[in-house]
Amino acid sequence: MSMSSIDKKVWIYIALAFVFSTLVRFIWIYQFNGVDSFIWNDQFMINTNDGYFWAEGARDILNWNFSEFALSPVKTAGSQLSAFFAWILPFSFETVILYLPVFLSSLIVIPMILIAQSLKRVEIGFVAALLASIAWSYYNRTMVGYFDTDMLNIVFPTFLLWSLILAIKSNEEKYLLFTALEIIAYRWWYPQSYSLEFAFFGLILLYALIFERKNLYMYKLLSIMLFAMMGLPSLVRFVTVITVFIMYRSKKLEVYIYYLLGLAFLLFMLSGGFSPIWAQLKGYVFQDTLAVVGKDLQLHFFSVMQTVREAGKIPFETFANRISGHTITFVLSVIGYVLLVLRHRVMFLGLPLIGLGFLAYVGGLRFTIYAVPVLAFGISYLIFFCSDYLKNSYAKVVFVLTCTAAILYPNILHIIGYKVPTVFSKQEVTVLDKLKSIADREDYVVAWWDYGYPIRYYSDVNTLIDGGKHSGAVNFPVSYMLTNPQLSAAKLARYDVEYTQSKFLMSKNDKDRNRTNIANMTLDNGFNDTNDFLTSLHVKSSLPKKTRDIYFYLPFRMMGILPTISRFSDIDLMNGKTNRRPFMYQTNRFKDSKDILNLSNGVLFNKKTGMLKIGNQEVPVKEFLMTGYDKNKKLIRQRQRIHKNANMYLVFMRSYNTFLVLDESMLNSTYIQLFVFENYDKNLFEPVILDPSAKIFKLKI
């Protein structure tokens, strides 16, 4: 059967928008063509840390490598779908994970144009699709190399919006099935979709109660949505939805539709209800600085959400730009959306996406991506609404083209300037690749959570924390290891690894399994105060039996976040109060004159007096230390005593063109001693890889 002219037009629009979306994303490839430090295994590396999580799972699926206690996400949709594409496509694995976001994210143009077709204004969908596919926040999280769930996180709810619109407009039974299957697929892909699904359900319920209380179809839609939303395994929900749909088709349940709706709501509540929604709100909106964990030993931990940029509040201009590309476009988009809803009432179903997007204004910039497609409809509708007042057809075309170019321009300008580097450089990956040949798969690497996923991917080892496992309770020990002296750091590393491993063997109801590691260490050593346990690490004491090797991964790039890392362990776990407040300042922007070394940001060092001025405060410097590599790549260290009883140190890392200002506490930290000075306790550590970009030491105890 040949397609009608309108169907052909729709597919042409979809094809053009899809090609536009993909081509724009190739700008990044063009810009970095020939940059060797971004390439590994003859392909560009990805540019998001979380991408290595899904890549690790996909790699292990393809290699059929399933470790019982590993954190590899082999059971997740992101890894499974990626492994499938890598298996069927004739490209390298690195090529698949690099380009998959480009093509999957561009699928958003399909539901957008189909929604516009249902409104009988397909051209509105085309312009909206062009904007939505490359809008700031959507592009940022779906660009080439941004291998993350975001490549389908907006595509699925936009398809859901399309099926709900068609369901209300047509009352056709097939859209009951489409809606339910989209919910199941969305949850399979992104388990956090729960709150958005419920928002759509609530809006449909409100619409039914206000406008169509006597329409049985609406109650069928509500019930099948609830069955699809239950907190049960995907297969169970799929079978339930198919069964209910078949019964609806046979008209056998229409008499009992209200009872079925009640049953669906009951099962929904019994299988989870509002719990996942509240958990997400608590995490992103009602953020706590401290988390109190435990029953028999209550400990206070620093909350990671306070340091995650995407969960922080953002200015209005940033908020507007990320959604529409420009503040003016954003304001006009809101106006256009209101007009669109007045003209096509069913478009009010876009409110859950707008609402979640607007949550970004208080809950963090990551949410702006959700408002992009619906507000793109708003500005597109406004353009055509205004063009309808022009009588001359030529003038209409010129007006639409000009306006379309105007709304796309700031977004394309942003894309050209958005030169995101790869997560790691080629040299850093070379270090991790060497570690892979040294360490066993069951060994652990101590590093900050930012690097957890890439380390596991390139070195095929275990980590204590990563981008998904980084609560205050698990961050505390690692922070302590990196920012405290070597003896206590080494001993805590052995404790944390062995306690982490032992938990895998415990039953789910074991009380030790439900405590934090640091709480178990405290109680097992006969202490009721964690401070006493931590103090005991500074002297000779017994350690857990060694079952595997531990490596400390210390990259140069970690230095920039070391003050933030220290915050997680600079806390009295018993009362939540700050302990040490160590000081560290790093800069590569400095000006050296005869008497004054200007370290920027109001930090000055007087060479004659040996005094350091930090803002309005002036403090003496105890020592000036300098490091640098000789022609044989051996680290040379020099030091000069200035003020005997001072507490501040000035360090010049000549090979990095970097100055450090440190207090004694930070100077003696494991990271600074091992990475900056390669000054390691030979009873505790041995060097494995000493590369300027990253250094790896093996724990000997």
Q: pLDDT per residue over 488-517, tens digit each?
A: 999 999 999 999 999 988 877 777 788 899
List pLDDT tens digits, range 174-227.
999 999 999 999 999 999 898 899 999 999 999 998 888 889 999 999 999 999
Q: How far apart are CA 322 and CA 182, in angstroms?
A: 27
pLDDT for 294 beyond 80 = no
Task: Give the Cα separation of 482 and 85 in Å (integer).
Answer: 39
d(CA 94, CA 91): 8
How far lies 127's CA from each of 22, 23, 124, 352, 401, in Å? 16, 16, 5, 22, 9
Residue 214 is predicted with a pLDDT of 87
Q: How far apart are CA 445 and CA 467, in angstroms?
A: 15
For 543-602, what is each residue's pLDDT tens digit? 999 999 999 999 999 999 999 999 999 999 998 888 878 899 999 999 999 899 999 999
Question: Are the beta carbons of 409 and 160 closer than 8 angstroms?
Answer: no
pTM of the predicted protein model: 0.90
446 touches 481 (CB < 8 A):
yes
Q: Which residue has the higher pLDDT, 361 or 583?
A: 583
d(CA 383, CA 340): 11
The closest of 30, 69, 89 to 456, measured between CA atoms, is 69
At 459 the pLDDT is: 96
CB 623, CB 640: distance < 8 Å:
yes
- Give the Cα-Cα-Cα angle 612, 614, 620 (nearest 5 degrees): 25
pLDDT band of 237, cuts 50, 70, 90: very high
3-state SS class at 229: helix
Cβ atoms of residues 352 and 165 within 8 Å: no
**Number of Cβ atoms within 10 Å of the Cβ of 536:** 18
Query: Is the pLDDT at 288 greater than 60, yes or no?
Result: no
Helix (H, G, I), strand (E, B) or coil at 187: helix
What average pLDDT does this structure show over 599-607? 95
- The chain-wide mean pLDDT, for the chain, equals 92
Side-chain half-sphere exposure of 366, counting CA atoms within 13 A? 13
Contacts of residue 218, Cβ cutoff 8 Å, sequence gap at least 6: 168, 204, 207, 208, 212
Dist. CA 218–CA 206, nearest whole Å:
11
> pLDDT per residue over 266-284, tens digit each?
998 888 776 666 655 555 5
DSSP 550: E
Is residue 316 pLDDT above 70, yes or no?
yes
- Identity of residue 671: Y
Residue 684: CB atoms within 10 A of its CB come to: 18
Mode of pairing for the β-strands spanning 39-40 and 43-44: antiparallel
Q: Averaged over 50-73, what is the pLDDT?
A: 90
Task: Name residue, tokens 């981008």.
Answer: 467
- 10, burial (CB in 10 Å: exposed 0-12, middle 13-18, buried 19+): buried
Secondary structure E strands in 422-566: 444-446, 462-463, 550-555
Judged against a pLDDT cut of 70, whether residue 138 lies above it is answered with yes
State the CB neighbour count (10 A cutoff) for residue 210: 8
The pLDDT-based confidence of 25 (bands split at 50, 70, 90) is very high
pLDDT above 90 for 411:
yes
Answer whether 589's CB lies under 8 Å from 627's CB: no
Q: What is the dihedral of CA 673, 679, 684, 686, to 10 degrees?
A: 120
* Residue 533 CA neighbour count, 13 Å, CB half: 23
Torsion sign (Cα): 486, 487, 488, 490 = positive
Place of tokens 């470790």: 67
pLDDT over 70, % of the chain: 94
In angstroms, the CA 66 to CA 70 distance is: 8
Question: Which one, of 422, 430, 431, lies nearest residue 38 by Cα?
Answer: 422
Does the domain formed by 426-567 have CATH 3.40.1380.40?
yes
pLDDT value at residue 508? 72
Q: Which two tokens stand for residue 54?
A: 């899904």
CA distance 701 to 695: 19
**What percent of the chain is modeled with pLDDT above 90?**
79
CA 190 from chain centre, in angstroms, equals: 13
Q: Hey, where are the domains in the chain?
A: 5-417, 426-567, 584-668
444-446 and 617-629: which strand pairing? unpaired
Distance of alpha carbon 204 from alpha carbon 222, whole angstroms: 7
pLDDT tens-digit series, residues 454-500: 999 999 999 999 999 988 999 999 999 999 999 999 999 999 999 99
Asked if 427 contacts 693 with a C-beta cutoff of 8 angstroms, the reply is: yes
Secondary element (H or E) of residue 611: strand 611-614
Residue 3: which pLDDT band, with cuts at 50, 70 and 90?
Answer: very low
Distance CA 500, CA 503 (A): 5
Q: How far apart are CA 368 and CA 197, in angstroms?
A: 17
* pLDDT greater than 70 at residue 365: yes
Q: Report yes or no: 134 and 24 within 8 Å, Cβ to Cβ.
A: yes
Handedness of CA 530, 533, 537, 538 (dihedral sign): positive
Question: What confidence category does residue 427 fall into, taking pLDDT thresholds of 50, 70 and 90?
Answer: very high
Residue 350 identity (one-letter amino acid): G
pLDDT for the residue 1: 38
